Amino acid sequence: MKLPIYMDYNATTPVDPRVLDAMLPCFSDHFGNAASRTHPYGWAAAKLAESARARIAVAIGAHPEEIVFTSGATEANNLAIKGFAHTVRDHRGHVVTCATEHKAVLDPCAALDREGFAVTILPVDSDGRLDPQRVAEALTPRTGLASIMLANNETGTLHQVATIAALCRERGVVLHCDATQAAGKVPVDVNALGVDLLSLSAHKLYGPKGVGALYVRRRTPRLHLVPILDGGGHEQGMRSGTLNVPGIVGFARALEIAIEMMPAERARLGALRDRLQDAIRSCLEAVTVNGDAAHRLPNTLNLSFAGVDGAALLVGVREAAVASGSACTSADPKPSHVLLAMGRSKALANASLRFSLGRGNTPEDIETVADAVVREVTRLRRNSPLWRR
Ligand SMILES: *Cc1c(COP(=O)(O)O)cnc(C)c1O
């Protein structure tokens, strides 16, 4: 067994060998610039990129011309939120989002706020779920855009995006959805969801880093986005820059494989995740599950351990590569904004671990990691002044 056991698949995933095989020729034989129209090197690259675009479109129920390639979901979210908001600022300068969104949604919304847009950040319940009624109440005749994620990256909680999309559509509000964490784990279909803009990233689904896409619904009048990058006018003027053909080809292959494997992986990882949750909770008291048990990604488990120091726990559980409920970029740990929005205290948020499972995980991994967590929490509580029971 290779230690530490990787259980941080919501942060990133390894590239599937089949994806790498599909990508390799694009670095050498087919190295052309997809925008070169004057020779076969360019034509070959364009053909590869357009085939990938068509396959990604099919995978999410879209048309090829609705796919705009980006450097990842951070860029896709920025393009969707800033790019659309800027087209409606005069008459619909109000944006609605949710407290548990990824920073790649919250920060572009904060940038709009600084520019004079009105931004409403909706609260969630203690399971991290957003009540669609809250969205309905927040929308006004001046609301132009709402941005609500499909699956939360920290807790796996799923939002009722289709219901929210219907509410937005009735009121002429464009809905953007960050589906980065959902894609490849649960079905994502832009028409079933009813969204107008949707972000994806390849590296969360066993594709390469640095490539993603924004789905932009084709409708009348055409949804227009103000580009973030000015340049050669690639991607219908929405995203200039030479196409990352190897990345795009890998992205398409990764998405196809993820969809093919989804039924089996969903069941397998769901069972492993439940086993991990039960193994830990049956041995320890005062463990809180962060997330909605009935509406959650199958691979994600976020737990808070009362009475322990999160940083010490992370160091102690050296058998596992997992994420914590705090961003320890500085000396003073910053508790997760997602867990705080769910009503957890700073101390409990800091004492949290996120286990996100993936293709490499086995039943043996679950036993090893569960044992390590139980051992360390027990040890830390024994020595902790915070833990008096
Ligand atoms: C990882 C992630 C992002 C950022 O994606 P990049 O492609 O790494 O920029 C955005 N949103 C969610 C929900 C994510 O999980």
Instruction: Delimit the domains of the chain by residue range.
Output: 5-11+262-382, 17-256
The pLDDT of residue 113 is above 70: yes
**Rounded distance, CA 35 to CA 50, Å?**
11
Per-residue confidence band for 389, with pLDDT thresholds at 50, 70 and 90:
low
Is the C-beta atom of 13 inside 6 A of ligand 1? no
**Rounded distance, CA 140 to CA 123, Å?**
17
Is the C-beta atom of 104 inside 6 A of ligand 1? yes
* Active-site residue set: 328
Is the C-beta atom of 150 inside 6 A of ligand 1? no
Is the C-beta atom of 204 inside 6 A of ligand 1? yes
The pLDDT of residue 290 is above 70: yes
Between strands 197-201 and 174-178, the pairing is: parallel
Strands (E), the chain: 5-6, 67-70, 94-98, 118-122, 143-147, 174-178, 197-201, 212-216, 287-289, 300-305, 320-321, 323-324, 326-327, 334-335, 352-356
pLDDT, position 219: 80
> For the purposes of burial, counting CB atoms within 10 Å of the CB of 18, is it exposed (0-12), middle (13-18) or buried (19 or more)?
middle
The pLDDT of residue 15 is above 90: yes
The backbone torsions φ and ψ at residue 94, rounded to the nearest 5 degrees and listed phi first, read: -115, 130
pLDDT, position 328: 59
Mutational test site, ligand 1, from 10, 78, 153, max ligand atoms within 8 Å of CB: 153
Ligand 1 nearest-atom number relative to CA 203: 7
Tell me the mean pLDDT in the region 29-33.
Answer: 97
Tell me the mean pLDDT in the region 134-139.
Answer: 98
Query: Which DSSP symbol is given to 15?
Result: P
pLDDT, position 77: 98
- Taking only Cα atoms into account, the Rg of the chain, rounded to an integer number of angstroms, comes to 22
Ligand 1 nearest-atom number relative to CA 101: 13
Residue whose CA is at the smallest distance from ligand 1 atom 3: 73
Tell me the mean pLDDT in the region 77-93.
Answer: 97
CATH of domain 17-256: 3.40.640.10
Helix axes of 245-281 and 17-27: crossing angle, nearest 10 degrees: 160
366 and 274 Cβ atoms separated by less than 8 Å:
no
Is the C-beta atom of 74 inside 6 A of ligand 1? yes
Which residue, 311, 306, 289, 264, is CA-closest to 355?
A: 289
The pLDDT of residue 331 is above 70: no
One-letter amino acid at 96 equals V
pLDDT, position 384: 84
pLDDT tens digits, one per residue of 193-225 = 999 999 999 999 999 999 999 999 998 667 889
Hey, which CATH number is domain 5-11+262-382, 3.30.70.2740, 3.90.1150.10, 2.40.110.10, 3.40.640.10?
3.90.1150.10
Is the C-beta atom of 153 inside 6 A of ligand 1? yes
The backbone torsions φ and ψ at residue 198, rounded to the nearest 5 degrees and listed phi first, read: -150, 135
Which residue, 95, 52, 110, 378, is CA-closest to 246?
A: 52
Measured in angstroms, how far is the CA atom of residue 209 from the centroid of ligand 1?
10
pLDDT, position 368: 98
Residue whose CA is at the smallest distance from ligand 1 atom 5: 73
Mean of all residue pLDDT scores within the chain: 96
pLDDT, position 1: 75
pLDDT, position 330: 54
The pLDDT of residue 386 is above 80: no
**Rounded distance, CA 379 to CA 375, Å?**
6
User: In a 3-state reduction of DSSP, which class is residue 190?
Assistant: helix
**Cis bond upstream, residue 108 (ω within 30):** no
Residue whose CA is at the smallest distance from ligand 1 atom 12: 180
pLDDT, position 222: 75
Tell me the mean pLDDT in the region 241-247.
Answer: 97
